[in-house]
Amino acid sequence: MKGKDQVLLIEIGKRIVTRRNALGWSQEVLAEAAGISPKTVSSAEQGQKALRPENLIAVSRALHLDLEYLLTGQHSQSSILGSEKLDALSPEQRNALKAIIDAFLSVC
């Protein structure tokens, strides 16, 4: 792999590492949460190997990251995850926020 492709993989890997560390997770915890092997996580974080599309989705969901952000480093304009405050929430806080939103929407 050369040039732009390698740079892209390295940048995706950096975003994975940054978010995983922010959550206080090991590679093994992320692997289990995403349903992939720790070796796959390690290869992705080092930019050595591209993740398959279904694994990219699983990693983005496990890390509670917008897929567009994971791939490009930029949040979708339509994504609620565009807020840095939301990005900093723990999985437990995200679940609580989701419950609040669900409750709000159920009465609207």
| For residues 4-8, average pLDDT | 90
| For residues 1-14, average pLDDT | 88
Q: What is the pLDDT of residues 43-97, one digit of tens each?
A: 999 999 999 999 999 999 999 988 889 999 887 665 555 566 777 788 898 889 8
Give the count of beta carbons closer than 10 Å to the beta carbon of residue 106: 7
- So what's the pLDDT on residue 8? 93
pLDDT band at 98, cuts 50/70/90? confident
If you write DSSP's letter for every residue of 52-106 in order, what string do you get?
A: PHHHHHHHHHHTT--HHHHHHSS--TT-GGGSHHHHT--HHHHHHHHHHHHHHHH
